[in-house]
Amino acid sequence: MKFQYQAKNKQGTMVQGTIEGASAMSARSALRLAGLTVSNIAPFATNPSKPTIEVAKKPIVRESDSQRDAWTVLGSLLKKRVKHSDLVVSLSQLSIMLQSGDDLAGAFQVVASQCSHPTLRDVLQTIHRDVEEGMSLSEAMAKHPRVFDVSMVAVIDAGENSGKLVEVIERMTALLLKDQQLKSNVMSMLTYPAVLMFITASVVSSMFFFVLPQFAKVFQDMERPVPPLTSFLLTIGTTLQSHWMLILAIIGAFIGIIAYARRLPQWRYMVDYLVLNAVGLRRATRPLMAGRIFRLMGTMIENGVPILETVRLTQRATRNIYYRNMFQKMEQEILEGRGIGPTVAAVSFFPVGAGHMLETAERSAKIAFVLQTIGEYFENEGEQKLRWFVKLLEPAMIITLGGVVGTVVMSIVLPMLDITTAS
């Protein structure tokens, strides 16, 4: 059987040709022994215009569609979700092996054998088999959209077509590693405020559920007038202790309402609007989101993805509804012969000056370089703003915690002192 292939020789030059082999796997092995790194291999069509006749085969007995769908949903729920960090580690290993001259299929086999995440290991093994059978890497990755998003598949496809697959994988790995570092920095900055919030909620709940009801009995036994604030807090504590089941039911219903509301488009608009426009927080979220978008677009354009396709893929890769609407307008502007700079300049949630920089980049034909440069700049700026916001948030939360606890304690201690002094 004859196969046609695209491969890179030891000098780094892309070559193509045909080879005989019993299967795509054996043909790939022969090319590997010849010192070629295969990027694509497929059966050779001797006469593509000649019509083919399909022979009907006896259908295989299988489950009904409903049963198959149920098992598919159940299987997807039982499978462990692939974390961003696990994917970064595997792609980093793959990039290093490919730069060392290893074959693509062989590199996937080694990375899969060393992967500790069961779901990702299965995906990598499946890609290895598909590549060995002659499928292109982008097609093999596209079969796993829960692991590889559309933008990554598009960049890999462009790298295969341009003969720069190894370089593209290296750039994509660097992009994912930068995203992972950014997420780690953000999580580390938000850990301390989250701990403070948990402590505040625990202390206040303990006082209202356990401490205040005990003091309510003390004041009741003394038969002395209680200040209004103390009486109000004691009433809250007694109510919480007496009707805790009803309160838990109300909290559960509230959580259920929020879970249902998240499916509504109005909820999505509200959350996305707050992320981009909340006072104080927007100084960090706007440059962070813009920086990631610009870096992703710059990486795709630099690796050969057309700008129109880049805009469409970036729209699919982002979840913010306002960004999606902006990319729809940008797509229309490109179809009408205009650039992306005016659209960015007209949007209020992009950092000031971004649109004008992109207009200049389009005139100088350096759009990919400028997108990546300003993307890194805005991400660094957003990270600094977020760190500043968290530093202001920490003392505010400490003061709030001290004020709440102090108010509760003083509202109990002062009346007790008055009663003790009077007696």
* Mean of pLDDT over the chain: 77
Q: What is the pLDDT of residues 247-287, one digit of tens each?
A: 889 989 998 988 888 788 888 888 888 888 888 788 888 88
pLDDT bracket for residue 80 (50, 70, 90): low
Position 123 scores a pLDDT of 87
pLDDT bracket for residue 215 (50, 70, 90): confident
Position 67 scores a pLDDT of 41
Query: 396 or 422: which carries more pLDDT confidence?
Result: 396
Query: CA 52, CA 49: separation in Å to the nearest integer?
Result: 9
Q: Give the pair of three-digit tokens for residue 116.
A: 């500790």
Q: Give the pair of three-digit tokens for residue 240.
A: 């919480």
Q: Which of these ranges, 49-58, 340-349, 366-375, has the smallest mean pLDDT?
A: 49-58
Query: CA 388, CA 212: separation in Å to the nearest integer?
Result: 38
Least Cα distance to 388 among 296, 287, 319, 320 occurs for 287
139: CB partners within 8 A, 6+ apart? 130
DSSP 243-273: SHHHHHHHHHHHHHHHHHHTTSHHHHHHHHH
Q: What is the pLDDT of residues 87-137, one digit of tens each?
A: 888 888 888 888 777 778 788 888 888 888 888 888 888 888 888 877 888
Query: CA 394, CA 390: separation in Å to the nearest integer?
Result: 6
Burial grade of 115 (CB within 10 A; 0-12, 13-18, 19 or more): buried
Count CB neighbours of 169 within 10 A: 24
Q: Give the pair of three-digit tokens for residue 226.
A: 């209680």
